[in-house]
Amino acid sequence: MTARIPVIDLELALSDDAPPELLAAARESAERIGIIQVTNHGVPDELIDGFHDSIGRVLALPREEKAELASPTGHPYRGWRQWPDDFGRLELERFNIGQFGSVEEAEVAGLSEEYAQLYAHPNVWPEQEPGLKDLAARYHDASVGVAEKVLTLYARLLGVPAETFPTSGRPYYTSFVVNDYPTWTHDGGEADEDKLLLLEHADGSALTVLHQRGDYAGLQGRGPDGEWIPVPIVPGALQVFSGHILTKWTNGRLSAGTHRVVAGGSVTRRSTGVFWHPSLDTVIEPLAPFVGPEGSDYEPALLWDRAKRQVEEYLEVFGRPDQIAAWRERRPYVAELAEA
């Protein structure tokens, strides 16, 4: 039987009256797939809709106006950028927001001088949407709250104390990202593998909290037998992906959610993701309740050591020569698209 990604009433699952079958479904998916959907999560619909309406107006601007919203220093996780495929066809537009807008802002929030250097590249706020900055901050904070609730749920499912997962200190996130996937009008009848808009991957976070909207289930998670499982669009639901950090914390008990996005549908598909990590000074290693006498094959690693190299490592794998040159020269990068 094909596996499914369950929809979990989060408030009910965290209550003393949680039905055993609800907890069992959440645990099975967390262990075998690494993805759940949650409802009754505490994020108001008006906040989700307000943010999406605002960022949607930005992404609907003419291309020449959006080009002015590219990172002034070529940072791949700041501002607007577009992502063409190998034929120059638009696969994806993104708008990225960093956790802090400057080194000074990060230091005021309590980061060390060394850690604050991650934010030497400013965010880009469109003057066309003056309320977006405030909406984004509130949306981000609400998503962090969802991530922390899900960690509490996972601790319960695994039979360990709620405080097992390290949530103290200031959480770190690489970027707050909005993905806009265009309708796909190139050829017809392709298999899903021939119309991928986002290649399969699992996130490096502990948890990723996503919201998706569109008219088709373009998001797919990889099941335990390698099959691709559609993640249906459920009104009001948020999708929560386990990342590599959570897999390492649990010594492999919980799977990292491998996922991809395929084209389809008659309207632009949009998703918004917040990538939750613990504080930058956290040593990522299997946590004591999950390590038996045989130990673990996972090596400890300081989160900061990865975070400070993240942009370089991303560009080494995914960067194109002109994008890398723009980053080295600290200038905006806007990818060219094919005319047809």
DSSP for 6-73 reads PEEEHHHHTSTT--HHHHHHHHHHHHHTSEEEEES-S--HHHHHHHHHHHHHHHTS-HHHHHTTB-TT
pLDDT (mean) for 279-289: 95
pLDDT for residue 16 is more than 90: yes
pLDDT for residue 2 is more than 80: no
pLDDT for residue 21 is more than 90: yes
pLDDT for residue 189 is more than 60: no
Give the position of tokens 């405080």. Answer: 163
Quick one: CA dihedral 86, 76, 52, 126, positive or negative? Answer: negative
Q: Determine what percent of the chain falls in helix, strand and coil, rounding each to the nearest 5.
A: 35, 20, 45
Give the position of tokens 């998670």. Answer: 221
Could you tell me the residue ranges of all domains in the chain? Answer: 7-108+121-279+288-295
pLDDT (mean) for 36-62: 96
Q: Looking at per-residue confidence, does 174 or 40 come out higher?
A: 40
Mean pLDDT for the chain? Answer: 92
- pLDDT number for residue 255: 96
Q: How far apart are CA 237 and CA 213, in angstroms?
A: 10
Give the position of tokens 């959440």. Answer: 26
At residue 223 the predicted structure's pLDDT band, cuts being 50, 70 and 90, is: very high
Q: How far apart are CA 150 and CA 146, in angstroms?
A: 6
pLDDT for residue 34 is more than 70: yes
| pLDDT tens digits, 238-263 | 999 999 999 999 999 999 999 999 88
Query: CB neighbours (10 Å) of residue 138?
Result: 15
Q: What's the CA angle centered on 327, arms 326 and 333, to 5 degrees?
A: 45
- pLDDT number for residue 11: 98
| pLDDT tens digits, 259-275 | 999 888 777 889 999 99
| pLDDT tens digits, 114-151 | 999 999 999 999 999 999 999 999 999 999 999 999 99
- pLDDT number for residue 3: 77
State how beta strands 283-284 and 269-276 pair. Answer: unpaired
- Report which residue type is found at 81: R
97 DSSP β-pair partners: 176
Backbone dihedral region of 74: left (phi > 0), alpha (psi from -120 to 50 degrees) or beta? Answer: left
Q: How far apart are CA 245 and CA 102, in angstroms?
A: 26
- pLDDT number for residue 187: 57
- Thinking of the domain 7-108+121-279+288-295, which architecture would CATH place it in? Sandwich (2.60)
pLDDT (mean) for 16-23: 97
Q: How far apart are CA 199 and CA 171, in angstroms?
A: 27
